Amino acid sequence: MAAKIETRLHVDAHIEAGTTLGLDHAGAHFLRSVLRLKPGAMLAVFNAQDGEWLARIDGIGKGWCSLEVTELRRLPEPEPDLWLVFAPIKRARLDFVAEKAVELGCSLLQPVFTGYTDVSRVNSERLAANAREAAEQCERLSLPLVRDVISFEKLLADWPTERRLLLCAESGGVKPIGEVLQDIRAGDPQAGREPWAIMTGPEGGFTKGELDALTKLPFVTPVGLGPRILRADTAAVSALACWQAVLGDWEKRPPDRSDA
Amino acid sequence: MAAKIETRLHVDAHIEAGTTLGLDHAGAHFLRSVLRLKPGAMLAVFNAQDGEWLARIDGIGKGWCSLEVTELRRLPEPEPDLWLVFAPIKRARLDFVAEKAVELGCSLLQPVFTGYTDVSRVNSERLAANAREAAEQCERLSLPLVRDVISFEKLLADWPTERRLLLCAESGGVKPIGEVLQDIRAGDPQAGREPWAIMTGPEGGFTKGELDALTKLPFVTPVGLGPRILRADTAAVSALACWQAVLGDWEKRPPDRSDA
């Protein structure tokens, strides 16, 4: 493919060669008014089910765009099933966490109100928009699910017990995350293919009651992130990176984009 | 210690019990006008040489404050010698990298202009101020050094060859960071006590010439950070977290602050 790939867009519709895709208003506006693309321009469209495909702009106007799918660019592939469960924090840092969580391969973002959470609402649409943009930029094939914020009690009540949870705990005598992850991998080299979650608290940390409730659950493993007090966003990004490095898919390399 | 610790301040001066410390204008202003503290209020003062000490506000006025050092709170302790060498990025993301690098135990921040760097200047004072604030908040005893930005050529010409460099490389057939760090640790459990550096490129990555120049150097080990294209700031934070988890001091826990 010599043609320049102008951008990369996630589409919900089924993608296959020869089909024509109609973009929604936002997508069409982005291509026409932001990137100023014309018919004939090439882009990549993707989703988790169909992988990534080359597509040519067939027609484009105010609020509409039709794409002709030409050829497969990248096959769908399994991705880690790693949730991030986090106490919401201030907006700029929350935007940051959403972006980084997507780049670090999170499959689902679940905000949860904990005792020391000092944010009263979470804009799920904003979170989802940040997640989508990050996925389009980082070469992911999937979009993470973004759940509405729930209470700590509901989180525990509804937890799928087969999903293991790494709890980032600032206090208490817990093992360091590196040692915990290495031990898990040593015990089962395929452990990263199971469902996992990482949970981080608000800036104030978890309440003693929350820590007690969490640490007695069989699927919870508390981990330490060292001697410095990490901000909530730093803890989330750090734990996700460590998980990917030890249990995740970081043995893979980015797709070759010498065609782009 | 029943007394509430109002805040934590880095001071350059030598700290020992019974001495009186005079704060600079900025420090005095922060205590008086931001925190609104009065004589008798307790805080913690620290530096890498003397550790952390309790201090009482002796006198405070417009632009001045004298502190009486009362007792040792925490002994000085060795910290990892880990540099972050990074291509400067846009301001908000640079502020973020500085804050995270401090929380993740960097000893020095070195911005470097690379071929694809699209930022023309770096505000070292701003970087240093962010670093100081982050150190005061994250329970560190040291402040990282913040160097002025230099050229890629000067970086290599002046490099202290005993300092090993982990190069975060988006392209090329390199080993994943987790495997590389584990192999280094397996070969020498004390490897983390040596001088190290982590290097990240700009959003556009390194030029081919830069990658070729770096990878032929004996002290450079290129590493991969997985199949998703990470933003420059994500790569820096992720690599620092992985280094700390495997070679760094994350077997330690935060100091007990039940007195605070």
Residue B162: other Cβ atoms inside 10 A:
8
DSSP classification of residue B191: G
Residue A260 lies inside a defined structural domain of this protein: no
Task: Show which of residues 75-114 on chain A sit within 8 Å of chain B, judged by CB atoms.
Answer: 96, 99-100, 103-105
Q: What is the residue-averaged pLDDT of chain A?
A: 94
**B233 in Cβ contact with A234 (< 8 Å):** no
Instruction: Residue A94: give its domain's CATH number.
Output: 3.40.1280.10
Residue A252 lies inside a defined structural domain of this protein: no
Task: Show which of residues 196-235 on chain B sit within 8 Å of chain A, judged by CB atoms.
Answer: 224-231, 234
Q: Is the pTM of this model over 0.80?
A: yes
pLDDT class of A211 with cuts at 50, 70, 90:
very high
Instruction: Residue B70: give its domain's CATH number.
Output: 2.40.240.20
**CA quadruple A94, A95, A99, A100: dihedral sign:** negative
CA A112 to chain CA mean position, Å: 16
Phi, psi of B231 (to 5 degrees): -60, 160
Residue B66 lies inside a defined structural domain of this protein: yes
pLDDT class of A135 with cuts at 50, 70, 90:
very high
Say whether both A36 and A133 belong to one domain: no
Which chain B residue's Cα is nearest to A172?
B253
Check A251 against B179: CB less than 8 A apart.
yes
B72-82 residues labelled b (16+ CB within 10 A) or e (exposed)? ebeeeeebbbb
Domain that holds residue A36: 5-74
Q: Which of B137, B144, B15 is nearest to B79 (CA)?
A: B144
pLDDT at B2: 55
A196-200 and A220-223: which strand pairing? unpaired
Residue A93 lies inside a defined structural domain of this protein: yes
Low-confidence ranges of chain B (pLDDT < 70): 1-2, 258-260
- Residue A235, pLDDT > 50, answer yes
pLDDT at A91: 86
Residue A131 lies inside a defined structural domain of this protein: yes
- Residue A259, pLDDT > 60, answer no
pLDDT at A1: 47
A164-168 and A196-200: which strand pairing? parallel
Q: How far is CA A129 from CA A50, A83, B9, B35, in A?
A: 21, 18, 39, 37
pLDDT at B172: 79
pLDDT at A2: 55
Check B234 against A103: CB less than 8 A apart.
yes
Residue where a domain stops, chosen among A39, A74, A109? A74
CA-to-CA distance for B152 and B179, rounded, in angstroms? 28
pLDDT at A258: 64
pLDDT at B1: 47
Q: What is the number of structural domains in chain B?
A: 2
Residue B112 lies inside a defined structural domain of this protein: yes
Q: Which residues of A touch B254 (CB under 8 A)?
A: 170-171, 226-229
Q: In what order do the strands lie in the sheet with B64-74?
A: B5-10, B42-47, B51-61, B64-74, B20-22
Residue A19: other Cβ atoms inside 10 A:
13
Say whether both A24 and A125 belong to one domain: no
What value does the mean pLDDT take over residues A182-206? 96
Say whether both B37 and B93 belong to one domain: no
Say whether both B114 and B141 belong to one domain: yes
Q: Which residues of A touch B131 (CB under 8 A)?
A: none
CA-to-CA distance for A240 and A90, rounded, in angstroms? 20
**B60 in Cβ contact with B32 (< 8 Å):** yes
How large a percentage of chain A has pLDDT more than 90? 90
Which chain A residue's Cα is nearest to B247?
A178
Say whether both B88 and B53 belong to one domain: no
